């Protein structure tokens, strides 16, 4: 069975694709790897040198940690896999600094764009994320250190905001059975996603790309008095929906996912070789 992946929609923050030729267990493994195993940069350590704001240092450190940062997986390593042994070096750590003295007459909001990175590739994905406010004549001076981590350890390292998949639906509508109820098709009103069009020919028809929206609720099939609808699930085909805050480009995300998937299979095989398995019937 060969694997077939087709991108349906893609923009900066959303990706919809279908994947064919894998089992549901593999589809779920892909979902879990994307959610929890892809390394992503986030603030890990903060040194607060001056904080005149009304927020506690701990709250500021938490807010800094949750700022999504653009990640470069080519240059940086996970601290535990780095030659420095996780102590922190230019191969596994990036520093962000912020030094602001509000000389204005009004309070000032400090945003993610005010953080200065020592690597221009590792910056906040959005420079308008508010961190805190300081009053006039107040100061805010910090040093923050970012490193790669995985979502399994902390949600701040999640590579995506949301990911889910659905079975691929295939609906068969036999409109020759629709002659008995031409004026008020119950099905077109019962579908919560409004996937049946009843505007032309006095017979219902499925809207284009209905499979993208259909969540297999079965209300059309169970409510049709003429039993004109059949719903099938296409074997080994799934639709994936991914929402990203932009920390990694989707092509890097997908290729890294399959790299980790293969590593896991290899690790499993290696561990299996050392074990004598007795199958008991
Ligand atoms: Zn290092």
Query: Rounded to the nearest whole angstrom, what is the distance from the C-alpha of residue 271 to the centroid of ligand 1?
Result: 28
Tokens standing for 243? 């929402």
Query: Rounded to the nearest whole angstrom, what is the distance from the C-alpha of residue 89 to the centroid of ligand 1?
Result: 4
Query: Rounded to the nearest whole angstrom, what is the distance from the C-alpha of residue 79 to the centroid of ligand 1?
Result: 5
Q: What is the pLDDT along the chain (281 residues), one digit of tens a residue?
A: 688 999 999 998 999 999 999 999 999 999 999 999 999 999 999 999 999 999 999 999 999 999 999 999 999 999 999 999 889 999 999 999 999 999 999 999 999 999 999 999 999 999 999 999 999 999 999 999 999 999 999 999 999 999 999 999 998 888 787 776 756 777 777 888 888 887 766 777 888 888 888 888 888 888 888 888 889 999 999 999 999 999 999 999 999 999 999 999 999 888 888 777 766 65
Query: Rounded to the nearest whole angstrom, what is the distance from the C-alpha of residue 260 to the centroid of ligand 1?
Result: 21
Query: Rounded to the nearest whole angstrom, what is the distance from the C-alpha of residue 95 to the centroid of ligand 1?
Result: 13
Query: Rounded to the nearest whole angstrom, what is the distance from the C-alpha of residue 77 to the centroid of ligand 1?
Result: 7
d(C-alpha 144, C-alpha 146), whole Å? 7
Query: Rounded to the nearest whole angstrom, what is the distance from the C-alpha of residue 245 to the centroid of ligand 1?
Result: 26
Query: Rounded to the nearest whole angstrom, what is the distance from the C-alpha of residue 57 to the centroid of ligand 1?
Result: 26
Find the helix or strand (DSSP H, E) in which 273 lies: helix 250-273
pLDDT of residue 196: 83
Query: Rounded to the nearest whole angstrom, what is the distance from the C-alpha of residue 35 to the centroid of ligand 1?
Result: 24
d(C-alpha 172, C-alpha 175), whole Å? 9
User: What does pTM read for this prediction?
Assistant: 0.84
- Of the candidates 144, 150, 119, the one whose C-alpha atom is nearest the C-alpha of residue 44 is 144
Helix axes 24-36, 250-273, angle to 10 degrees: 110
d(C-alpha 166, C-alpha 171), whole Å? 15
- Of the candidates 169, 174, 183, 232, the one whose C-alpha atom is nearest the C-alpha of residue 205 is 174
- Of the candidates 134, 55, 122, the one whose C-alpha atom is nearest the C-alpha of residue 90 is 122
Q: What angle do CA 158, 160, 165 make, to 5 degrees?
A: 125
Tokens standing for 254? 């997908």
Query: Rounded to the nearest whole angstrom, what is the distance from the C-alpha of residue 75 to the centroid of ligand 1?
Result: 11
pLDDT in tens, 200-217: 667 778 888 888 888 888
d(C-alpha 141, C-alpha 138), whole Å? 10
Query: Rounded to the nearest whole angstrom, what is the distance from the C-alpha of residue 88 to the centroid of ligand 1?
Result: 5
Query: Rounded to the nearest whole angstrom, what is the distance from the C-alpha of residue 25 to the centroid of ligand 1?
Result: 35
Residue in this structure with the two tokens 């910056």, named with its chain if needed: 123
In this structure, are residues 246 and 70 in contact, taking their beta carbons and an 8 Å threshold? yes
pLDDT in tens, 111-135: 999 999 999 999 999 999 999 999 9
Query: Rounded to the nearest whole angstrom, what is the distance from the C-alpha of residue 86 to the centroid of ligand 1?
Result: 5
d(C-alpha 121, C-alpha 139), whole Å? 27
Query: Rounded to the nearest whole angstrom, what is the distance from the C-alpha of residue 112 to the centroid of ligand 1?
Result: 25
Name the burial class of residue 11, with classes exposed (0-12), middle (13-18) and buried (19+) by CB atoms within 10 angstroms of its CB: exposed
Query: Rounded to the nearest whole angstrom, what is the distance from the C-alpha of residue 122 to the centroid of ligand 1?
Result: 16
Q: Give all strands (DSSP E) within the chain, no chain letters.
A: 4-10, 14-20, 40-51, 94-101, 108-111, 116-117, 130-134, 139-149, 162-173, 196-197, 205-206, 229-243
pLDDT of residue 132: 95
Query: Rounded to the nearest whole angstrom, what is the distance from the C-alpha of residue 65 to the centroid of ligand 1?
Result: 19
In this structure, are residues 24 and 237 in contact, taking their beta carbons and an 8 Å threshold? no
């Amino acid at each position: 069975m060969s694997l077939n992946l087709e991108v349906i929609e893609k923009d900066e923050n959303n990706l919809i694709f279908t994947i064919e030729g894998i089992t549901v267990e593999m589809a779920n493994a892909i979902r879990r790897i994307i959610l929890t195993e892809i390394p992503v940069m986030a603030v890990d350590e903060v040194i607060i040198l001056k904080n005149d704001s009304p927020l506690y240092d701990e709250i500021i450190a938490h807010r800094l940690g949750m700022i999504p940062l653009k990640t470069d997986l080519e240059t940086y390593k996970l601290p535990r896999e780095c030659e420095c042994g996780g102590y922190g070096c230019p191969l596994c750590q990036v520093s962000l600094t912020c030094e602001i003295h509000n000389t204005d007459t009004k309070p000032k909001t400090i945003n993610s764009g005010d953080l200065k990175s020592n690597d221009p590739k590792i910056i906040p994905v959005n420079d308008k994320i508010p961190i805190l406010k300081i009053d006039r004549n107040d100061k805010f001076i910090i040093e923050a250190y970012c490193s790669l981590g995985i979502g399994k350890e902390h949600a701040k390292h999640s590579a995506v905001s949301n990911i889910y998949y659905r079975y691929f639906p295939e609906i068969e509508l036999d409109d020759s059975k629709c002659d008995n109820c031409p004026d008020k098709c119950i099905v077109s009103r019962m579908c919560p996603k409004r996937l049946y069009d009843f505007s032309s020919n006095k017979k219902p028809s499925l809207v284009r790309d209905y499979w993208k929206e259909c969540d297999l609720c079965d209300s059309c099939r169970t409510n049709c008095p003429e039993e004109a609808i059949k719903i099938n699930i296409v074997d080994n085909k799934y639709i994936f929906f991914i929402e990203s805050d932009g920390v990694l480009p989707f092509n890097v995300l997908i290729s890294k996912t399959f790299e980790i998937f293969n590593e896991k299979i290899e690790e499993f095989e290696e561990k299996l070789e050392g074990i004598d398995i007795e199958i008991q019937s």
